[in-house]
Amino acid sequence: MLQTLRKSASGIVAKILMALLIVSFGIWGIADVFRGFGSQTLATIGDSEITVPEFRELYQQRLQQISQQLKRGLTPDQARALGIPDQVLNERLAEAALDDEARRLGLALSDAEIAQRVQDNPAFHGPSGQFDPAYFARLLRANNFTEARFVQAERGLALRQQLIQSLGGGVEIPQVLKDAATRFESEERSVNYAMLTTAALPAAADPTDEELRSFFEARKVAFKAPEYRKIEVLALTPQSIAAAQTVTDAEVQAAYDANLSSYGTPERRVVQQIVFPNDEEAKAAAARIAAGTSFADIAADRKLADKDIDLGNITRSDIIDPSIADAAFSLAPDGTSGVVEGRFGPVIVHVGAVTPANVRPLSEVAAQIRAKLQLDAANRMVGQKYDEIEDERASGAQLSEIATKVGLPLVTVDTDIQGRTPDNATIPTIPGRSDVLRGAFASDVDVDNDPVQLPQNAGQPGGYVWYEVEAITPPADRTFEQAKPLVLERWKQDKASEALDKMAEDIKAKVAAGTSFGIAVTDAGLELRAANGLKRGRAADGVPQEILNAVFDTPNGGVGSALAEGGDSRILFNVLSVNVPSNATPNERLMSDIRQGLENDLMTEYLVALQSELGAKINRTALDQIVGADAVN
C-alpha cells in the first residue's frame, strides 16, 4: 500500500521530474563533506536540511521494497553494491533543491487546492469511483502516515511540479528540425510483396526418435518445466454477489412500470398545439371548438401554418411540458382538448393518428429486470463486502475461511506465470488475471498480499481480487519422454522456419540474377500483391505491420524481407517508389513529442545549474552508520 501512496504523487510531470533529478544529480554528484552540524543532520542543500531519522526511514522503506521483490533480505554490503544509498540520497537531495528554490521564488498552494488534488486522485477512490475518505484514512494508517504529514508531502510535490512545468513553457521547435521531421513523417512508399507461409511448403517427413532425442539434448534447457505455483484466488465483483441480493416482486413491477419503453415500442401520437397569448383568446377558441368549429379552422383563422402547430408523431417522453403530455395522451384519436395551462401560456391540443404501444408483458422480462436490480444492489454492496473481507484478513483468517464466511467461491489454480497448468491447459478465467499472476509470482508462500483492484468503467464492473500462494514447484528438467510432444512441435517449427528462410533467399537470388520480382514470386507459386502510399507507423489495409520498418530501411528499387505473424511466416517485398509530398503538413503529435524532448533537455540543464549553485553537503559519518549497520532480513 505504500506504493499506492507514493504513486498518488505521480503523473507524467512527476515521472519526468524524477528522471531528470536522478540524471542531473548523477552528473554532478554530492559535494563536500560538511562539519560542525548537529548530529541529527545528514545532508544540506541550500537552506534545506535532510535529517538522519528522515533518511533512515526512506532508506528502510526502499530496502523493504527491494527485498520483497527479490524475496530475500539484503545485507548492507549488497545494498551498497547496488548503489541503493546513493540513489535514495540523490533523490531526496533533488527534491530538497527544488523545495529550496520554490521557497525562494515564493511559490505557494492553498489548502483548498491541496484538498482538491487529493480528492481527484484515483488512488484514493472507492468502489463508487469517487473519493472515499474512509479508504484514504485506512491507507494512511496502514502506512504510518498522518494526514498532516501526507498533505505536507503532497504540497511539496505540487510546488515542485509548478516549478518544473514553468520552465517548459514557450519552447519553440527550430524550423529546420520541424521540416526534417515532417519529411520523415510524410514520406510515402509503394511496394510489391508476397507472403511466404507454411502452406507453400511441401509436407516434411516425420523425424525419427533418434533425431528427436538429439534435438532435445541440444536444447534441453528450452524444454525445462517452468516454475509452477498453487494459488488460491478470491474474487469480489458485483456479479459474484448478485445472486445473493434480495429483490421483491413489487420492486420488479416498479422497475418495469418506470421503464416501459425499454421493453418494446412506446405509444406514439400525432400531436398539434396552438399556444394563445392570453386566457381570453384561448377560452374563446375552445368555445368555438365545442360549438363545432374544427381545430384546423381555428389554426387557419389565426393564420398558423402546419409548421407552427405540428409537434410530430411523438411519444409521451418527447413532450417536455407535463401538462401538455397528460392532455395529449388522454385524448381519443382525432380529439381536441380544452384549454391547458402550459409552461409558455394557455394551449389547446389536438391529437390525430395514434399508434398503440407494443410492450412485452412483465412475465416475459421479469427475470431480466430482477437480474439487473440484483446487479445494481450488488454494486452498492461491494464496498461493504470489501470491508468484511479486510476485517477477516486483519484477524488472521485464511482466504479459504473467509470465502466460506462471506459466501464467495474460492478458486485454486496450479499455474505458471503465463497461466498454463502443468498439462499445458489454460487456467480458468480469473478477474484481473494478469495482475493476479504477476503479483503471485512476485510474492511467496504465507505472504499477505494487497488485493488487486479491478477497473470500474464502461464495460468493467470493478471489484477486488485477493490471492495467496499456497505452494511453489521450482523449475525442473523434463525427461525426453515427458517433453516429447513439445520437442516434436518445436522440431517442426524449426524445420518450417528453415524452409521459409531458404525459399526467401532463393527468390532474392533469382532477382539479383536478373529475374523480375513479380516473375520470381509467381514462379515460386506465391501470390503477388501491391501496396501503395505506405507511411511510417501507419496501418494500411491488407498490409502486415511487420513489413513497414523493413520497407523504410530498404533503398528504392531494393528487395527485402521481414518476419510476419510472430515469426511463423515471411514477407518478401520490392520497393517500387519513394515519394515525399511537397505540401505535407507537420504532425502535431510528433511535434508535441519533439517539443517535450526539448523541454526535458532544458529542465535537465536547469537542475544541473541549480544543484551547482546550491551545493550539497553530507555527513559521511552519519550516512555510513545508517547504510553500514541497517539491513532487512
Q: Nine-digit cell at 67?
A: 527485498
Domain 188-223+479-579 in this protein, CATH class? alpha beta
pLDDT tens across 92-101, in order?
Answer: 888 888 888 8
Note the pLDDT of residue 459: 61
Q: Nine-digit cell at 45?
A: 542543500
Tell me how far apart the alpha carbons of residues 108 and 290 are, in angstroms, rounded to a whole number: 75
Note the pLDDT of residue 1: 38
Note the pLDDT of residue 122: 85
pLDDT tens across 525-584, in order?
Answer: 999 999 888 888 777 766 777 778 888 899 999 999 988 887 888 999 999 999 988 888
CA distances 322 to 255, 275, 307, Å, are 21, 15, 22
DSSP conformational letter for 243:
T
- Taken in order 201, 205, 211, 213, is the CA torsion positive or negative? positive
Whether residue 15 has pLDDT greater than 60: no
Domain 2-170+602-629 in this protein, CATH class? mainly alpha
Contact assessment for residue 340 and residue 323, using Cβ atoms and an 8 Å cutoff: yes
Note the pLDDT of residue 43: 87
Interior CA angle at 498 toward 492 and 499, to 5°? 90
DSSP conformational letter for 410:
E
Higher pLDDT, 68 or 300: 300
Percent of the chain with pLDDT over 90: 38
Note the pLDDT of residue 139: 81
Q: What is the DSSP string of 545-561?
A: THHHHHHHTS-TT-EEE
Q: Which of 277, 259, 237 is nearest to 406 (CA)?
A: 237
- Tell me the CATH number for domain 267-356: 3.10.50.40
Whether residue 487 has pLDDT greater than 70: yes
pTM of the predicted protein model = 0.48
Whether residue 26 has pLDDT greater than 60: no
CA distances 6 to 54, 173, 451, Å, are 16, 34, 17
Note the pLDDT of residue 451: 92
What's the distance, CA 322 to chain centroid?
Answer: 44
Give the Cβ contact number of residue 35 at 10 Å: 8
Percent of the chain with pLDDT over 70: 91
pLDDT tens across 370-421, in order?
Answer: 999 998 888 888 889 999 999 999 998 999 999 999 999 999 999 999 999 9
Note the pLDDT of residue 10: 38
3-state helix, strand, coil in the chain (%, to 5): 55, 20, 25
Note the pLDDT of residue 30: 40
pLDDT tens across 108-156, in order?
Answer: 888 888 888 888 888 888 767 788 888 888 888 777 778 888 888 888 8
Averaged pLDDT of the chain: 84
Domain 2-170+602-629 matches domain 188-223+479-579 at the CATH topology level: no
Q: Which residues pair with 530 in a beta bridge?
A: 192
Contact assessment for residue 107 and residue 162, using Cβ atoms and an 8 Å cutoff: yes
Q: Which of 276, 340, 278, 270 is nearest to 306 (CA)?
A: 270
Note the pLDDT of residue 39: 65
Domain ranges of the chain: 2-170+602-629, 188-223+479-579, 228-246+364-473, 267-356
Whether residue 13 has pLDDT greater than 60: no
Highest mean pLDDT among 81-95, 330-344, 528-542: 330-344
Contact assessment for residue 58 and residue 92, using Cβ atoms and an 8 Å cutoff: yes
Note the pLDDT of residue 169: 65
Tell me how far apart the alpha carbons of residues 364 and 370 are, in angstroms, rounded to a whole number: 12
Beta strand 264-265 with 188-196: parallel, antiparallel or unpaired? unpaired
Q: Which helix (H) or strand (E) holds 453?
A: strand 452-457
Whether residue 609 has pLDDT greater than 50: yes
Tell me how far apart the alpha carbons of residues 488 and 317 are, in angstroms, rounded to a whole number: 67
Mean pLDDT in residue range 224-229: 92
Band of residue 214 on the pLDDT scale cut at 50, 70, 90? very high
DSSP conformational letter for 320:
S
